[in-house]
Chain A
Amino acid sequence: MKADPAGVLTGVHYLDGDFACGEGAMAAGCRFVAGYPITPSTEVVERISRRFPMMGGTFIQMEDELASMAAVVGAAWTGTKSMTVTSGPGFSLMMENIGLGAMMETPCVVVNVQRGGPSTGLPTMAGQADMMQARWGSHGDYEPIALSPRSPQEAFDFTIDAFNLAEQYRVPVFVMMDECVGHMTEKVVIPPAEEIEIVPRKLTEKPPGEYLPYQNNGNKVPEFARAGDGYRFHTTGLTHDERGYPEMSEECQEKNVSRLLEKIRGSADKITRFVENETDGADVVVLSYGITARVARMGIDLARKKGVKVGEIRLEVVWPFPEKRIRELSKKVKAFVVPEINYGQMVLEVERCAAGRAGAILVPHAGGGVHDPESISSAILGAVK
């Protein structure tokens, strides 16, 4: 359906990534945000707290991130699209209830504006070291979805995408920004509401009595019922059967968990999204995401000037990782160069998928800034030798 105009600030704006992300949430129909202040993400909720009262939204600053995530999951069960916003240390705190959201199959969005880590790290400076945490942060087997915007415009667009994916797959979806994109001010074009396509919360059409909260409906995504509509359903973080009742058995665990994973893995081709250019006949492919993708562009240009055939893959959806395409490319290229603002996270995925057929060369950066394009181009040149 089309976006609710009350939340869409149509026009051409000069916004920073955090504000753009907040605008994206409001455009997508988010009407509940529970958050806790943490640099560099706070501006998202500051923006939302300012605009929500005009559009029937409720913002509450909870006492900590644990409560924020719990409230987000709770609010999602009323049919309201809900979101929270944090950075590294808060992300760690939220993991418990992200797991709850994954197990209860609750659509919700968590924005992580990454900063230097570990622990308190560099609160006001960029990092990209939470990427693996987004995938594996909570305990147990589950498959989340994560996107990585590289500009305020993408922060707006990808936040809307995140909400749409959350609704389609009933899973927590992460928007993995970083402080650089969050605090960078650029032109953001917000189209009119009629041009924004959003996926509304779809409710079951079965009557109470017939409805089962976790019935596998062919596509493995169960139908949703709102609290207060008379369905009297039960949901739990314990391993449960189709009725949502806890069942402690191997069979139930297998059925429950495998469906959670298959729900995403089976549709990975539809979910993964990346921008590819000049990979045909390339010797080296640079794989990057977020702010690093913009720096990598410069590194690639420098290398191309030196005559190297460099292709580029820019990840938009980071999780699920585009395994298929990387496997294919690994048969044709010499190496992948993966610059990231960490000491090696997504490069591990590349290496895993390349399976020795092509090199996976990391260009690390400890955090606190972005790469020097020279470091990327010299890694590319080094890869070709």
Chain B
Amino acid sequence: MSTTTQSLHTNVDASEHPIAPFLRMDRMPHIWCPTCGIGTIVKCFASALEQTKVDLDKTSIVSGIGCTGRVAGYMKLDAFHTTHGRAIPFATGLKLGRPELLVTVFSGDGDLSGIGGNHLIHAARRNIDILCILVNNFIYGMTGGQNAPTTPVSARSSTMPYGNFEHPFNLVHLAASCGAPYVARWTCLHIRRLTKTFAEALTRKGFRFIEVIAPCSTLYARLNKLGSGLDLMRFYHDNAEIKHGADTREAEIGFQDRILCGKFVDIEKPTFTELMHEHYTKTLGDRFVPMKPEGGWIHE
């Protein structure tokens, strides 16, 4: 092929895109808005799956309800689109029912920290061995732009029409203080670092928590007159500060304020299952029969 010939918007078949093996091509195109960042995060995750060469047959993905909740429906893995806020306990059941599974929770800020908040803190506390990807667009997008537990002070939403007066969560701090052994935050502009973080997290164990800031053009940006998702990406470009190992207390996000990114926590900590096995071996000795990695399926 000639080096001077460059395809002039060559109309290529969708199946040729490198992400195709990871997607349910019969459900494309997806429902996300123009300039929504979720698709970018899915691409980074797919690239990380490819790079780490994990066994895709043993990888499960669990989503809740919301725009990010639709991710499970588009990925070609064992996929579970569960009830609002319950992705984490559902994933816990999956992981404990078949310990060899690699379980990923991929859901939104309202889903995981609002209605699902209790499950988030307990899974982090117990160090359940699941990878939790939380996409934070600061709003409840799917339902029309309501205030979320992460909406910054003074931002407008459909249920806070005069601006939010509630103090939002600092999610990385929440996860870290609950005991998560791996906590990181990126925006969806940081595609390469995000992919690297996903790949690293996939090889770790325990409750790995990765918050990804994403633009929501149709609701968050529009209701706050911030332009489109591209304008929000430009904002991330100018206002994201990378500080690996920073104290998560500094990571609060104000309205159109700096966004602290990086890997904040990366420690070794026994998982729930490891603790359980260790403890029962100690107290029950030979009588202890752990569940096999293939799970508790009883058959002839």
Contacts and interface: CB of A to CB of B under 8 A. Distances in A.
- Decide if A and B touch, CB cutoff 8 A: yes
B123 to A, nearest CB: 9
Contacts, number: 190
A63 B119 contact: yes
B57 interface: yes
B209 interface: no
Interface residues of A, number: 56
A219 B76 CA distance: 29
B94 A227 contact: yes
Contacts of B272: 60
B89 A228 contact: no
A53 B77 contact: no
Given A67-B118, A78-B101, A238 B57 contact: no
Contact of B82 (A55, A80, A100): A100
A183 interface: no
Chain B, interface size category, equals: 35 or more
Contact of A200 (B77, B91, B298): B298
A41 to B, nearest CB: 19
B292 interface: yes
A121 interface: no
Interface in A208-239: 226-238
Contacts of B78: 77, 227-228, 231-233
Which has the most chain B C-beta neighbours within 10 Å: A57, A72, A236? A236
Contacts of A71: 89-90, 92-93, 96
Interface stretch (A8-16, A29-37, A112-120, A295-303): A29-37
B206 to A, nearest CB: 16
Contact of B92 (A1, A74, A201, A237): A74
A77 to B, nearest CB: 6
Nearest to B121: A63
Contacts of A60: 92, 96, 272
A70 B290 contact: no
A200 B119 contact: no
Given A67-B119, A76-B97, A77-B97, A232 B296 contact: no
Contacts of A97: 83, 86
B57 A228 contact: yes
B291 interface: yes
Given A56-B289, A57-B291, A78 B79 contact: no
B216 interface: no
Interface string A54-86: 111110101110111011111111111110000
Given A54-B287, A228-B78, A237 B83 contact: yes
A4 interface: yes
A77 B92 CA distance: 12
Contact of A32 (B96, B287, B290): B96
A55 B93 contact: no
A4 B98 contact: no
A348 B78 CA distance: 43
Contacts of B89: 34, 62, 66-68, 70-71, 74
Contacts of B300: 1, 200
Contacts of A31: 291, 296, 298
Contact of A70 (B24, B77, B82, B98): B82
Interface in B67-99: 72-73, 76-83, 85-86, 88-94, 96-98
Contact of B296 (A1, A32, A235): A32
Contacts of B288: 53-54
A96 interface: yes
Given A57-B296, A80-B295, A233 B79 contact: yes
Interface string A152-173: 0000000000000000000000
A101 B24 CA distance: 24
B27 interface: yes
Contacts of B86: 66-67, 70, 96-97, 100
Nearest to B294: A228
A68 B295 CA distance: 18
B8 interface: no
B291 A56 contact: yes
B254 to A, nearest CB: 30
A370 B122 CA distance: 40
A246 interface: yes
A6 interface: yes
B94 A236 contact: no
B297 A237 contact: no
Nearest to A225: B78
Contacts of A201: 297-299
A229 B180 CA distance: 29
Contacts of A233: 78-79
B284 interface: yes
Interface string B26-66: 11000000000000000000000000000011101010000
A245 interface: yes
Given A227-B101, A238-B81, A78 B118 contact: no
Contacts of A66: 85-86, 89, 118-119
Interface in B233-267: none
Contacts of B58: 228
Given A4-B298, A31-B298, A236-B72, 13 more contacts: A34-B89, A60-B96, A70-B86, A77-B93, A78-B94, A79-B295, A80-B297, A82-B93, A201-B298, A227-B98, A229-B57, A236-B82, A245-B24
5 contacts: A34-B93, A77-B94, A80-B295, A100-B82, A227-B78
Sorted from nearest, which 5 A-B pairs have the closest CB atoms?
A74-B93, A31-B296, A79-B297, A75-B97, A80-B296
Interface of B: 24, 26-27, 56-58, 60, 62, 72-73, 76-83, 85-86, 88-94, 96-98, 100-101, 118-119, 122, 272, 276, 280, 284, 287-292, 295-300
